[in-house]
Amino acid sequence: MLLFAMALISKIINLRYIISVITSLLIFCSPSHGSGIESITVQNSPSYINISWATAAGSSWDYYTVDVIKSSQRSVGGYPTNTIDTTHLITGLRPEEQYTIVVTPWTTEGAGRSLNKTVTTEAIAEGDIFVSDVTSSSAFIRWKPVAGVFFYDIEAEPSDAIEDTGGIFKAEVGLTILLPGTVFNVTIRGGSPVMDVASTQIRSAPESPVNVSLKQTGTTEATLSWTPPTSPHDAYEFYVINNSTDERSITTEQRDDVSDNEVTLTGLSPATIYSFGVGSVLNAMDSFGLQRSGQDDNPTVYGRTESITVQNSPSYINISWATAAGSSWDYYTVDVIKSSQRSVGGYPTNTIDTTHLITGLRPEEQYTIVVIPWTTEGAGRSLNKTVTTEAIAEGDIFVSDVTSSSAFIQWKPVAGVFFYDIEAEPSDAIEGTGGIFEAEVGLTILLPGTVFTVTLRGGSPVMDLASTQMRSAPESPVNVSLKQTGTTEATLSWTPPTSPHDAYEFYVINNSTNERLPTTTKQRGDVSDNEVTLTGLSPATNYSFGVGSVMNAMDSFGLQRSGQDDNPTVYGRTGDDTGNAVSSTLHYTLLLIPALLAVFLV
């Protein structure tokens, strides 16, 4: 027993040893324990350092962080930064300055071992000029001091490219640039006799645009306009910042692709506040890289995207709306409210689309549009938009409220004309209106279901001011009667109108539930003897039946109906079905049996 226990203890000790060895190996091989960057190689110049690095054999990393630290212990602007490559170009540095480069590898588990490399940028070569910090109005230049020269002069070609610097006693100077977006030569001179010490070309950055404005916003787009700079530039950059999330995006458009100095930026979120900036750009050319106008000088404007986008006219408003990203709705309720705070006829209404056309409106009137999203759980946040319909264009006549016997017309007043006359063709299509002193009039129509031309005349001498075609609505049928009813159908007859019409519509309302059955339409040629049998009714139910006449859509005229108030209506009741009748008779018979027995007993 003792031997067994000792053997068991020995096995446990060996197992623990094996586990500890494996754990040590795992810790040693873990990315955050020892493994990382093995070496960094550099290539440098007075203004840049190109670095590459190597990692331990067999290691794998998701990305690397590169930091560039100045002697002041502060990072160079734009650093630290992340990259998935094992090479990186560091630009915008100064000559003969020391920088410490730190590269750190990363996985999802954490950081590996970083490696540091201290590098000093090269000196400026004799005869070279080092140019930095170039803007549209300034630049900084340095050069290698020349032995025995203690005083330098700067010349430019063209000579008006920079301000005169006067005498320079150091091998560096700040230039004031007078020609933005321009390539010019700079020459350093000195010595005795005076000679050229160094020379280079500089291209100044472009100036910023001015007067940026937000012309229009939609639900997902915004239109900007601006005044371009007068100095040379090749393109524009548009900066968009979401003020809620600080998300940033840049769009570039070449100068020739932007008409009238306007651009529409898309892909925005609805009902969101943004800041919009416009900058100018000089494209890369020869030895010059892309240059931008100064961010601090670029004009910025703030604006909020819309909840609802509209396109309107004197008589309609076409709306579209956007909902929050990721949301899902079963349907939408659209309401159109007049300035009187009453809804337009036919509203509110429901739709499953995110667009809706609102018709039958009047020119230059204000309407408030309300859109409410719905799910089975209830309503979401509503969107409101107040819109004023457009004015009538000069030379147009706006026609509304057309019936078989009347219409209303409006037009844009004509300067210098105070009296108008209306003529129709054929002349007996309307009653004479007499003199009209306002830019609107109600017409009395004498020819129902007819196309006629209306011309507005006035001025001195009298001339045609505007003209349009109209089609009056059809008259209603008359003498509707209920010829016969069954349990689930009813047969109607009527006298048709004598004026033109193309079809009939039949309206059926269940008087108990106020349910309106789908409207049935029959073309005039498909109805024999002016009779129709309507089916799909319920037994033993009271209904009201109406008949209207229709003019089909034709050319620019939409479908037109006779007036609902003029359409004849008749009331009737469908019959009981056979099963119900038998059950009813049996029911009454059973009720009579006790009464008969009582009489018999008496």
Q: Residue 43: which CATH number?
A: 2.60.40.10
Cα dist. 323→308, 311, 329, 387 in Å?
Answer: 10, 19, 9, 20
| Structural domains of the chain, count | 7
- Judge contact between 190 and 149, C-beta under 8 A: yes
Residues 44 and 111 grouped into a single domain = yes
Give 76-134 pLDDT, tens digit per residue: 988 999 999 999 999 888 899 999 999 999 999 999 999 999 999 999 988 899 999 99
Residues 504 and 556 grouped into a single domain = yes
pLDDT at 31: 44
pLDDT at 450: 96
Mean pLDDT of the chain, nearest integer: 87
Residues 485 and 568 grouped into a single domain = yes
Give 502-540 pLDDT, tens digit per residue: 999 999 999 999 999 989 999 999 998 899 999 999 999
Domain boundary among 388, 419, 441: 388
Domain contains 594: no
pLDDT at 408: 93
Residues 459 and 430 grouped into a single domain = yes
Domain contains 587: no
Residues 322 and 351 grouped into a single domain = yes
Instruction: State which amino acid sits at residue 513.
Output: T
Residues 459 and 487 grouped into a single domain = no
- Report d(CA 574, CA 561) in Å as an integer: 28
Per-residue DSSP letter, 93: -
User: Is a pLDDT exceeding 90 seen at residue 348?
Assistant: yes
- Judge contact between 152 and 171, C-beta under 8 A: yes
Overall pTM surpassing 0.85 (yes/no): no
- Judge contact between 93 and 65, C-beta under 8 A: no
- Report d(CA 177, CA 132) in Å as an integer: 13
Domain boundary among 471, 495, 526: 471
Domain limits at 428?
397-471
Residue 213 tokens, joined: 């404005």
pLDDT at 34: 53
- Judge contact between 228 and 211, C-beta under 8 A: no
Instruction: State which amino acid sits at residue 484.
Output: Q
Domain boundary among 141, 171, 203: 203
Give 438-490 pLDDT, tens digit per residue: 889 999 999 999 999 999 999 889 999 999 999 999 999 999 999 999 999 99
pLDDT at 533: 95
Which of the four pLDDT bands, split at 50, 70 and 90, describes residue 206?
A: very high
Residues 335 and 378 grouped into a single domain = yes
Residues 412 and 490 grouped into a single domain = no
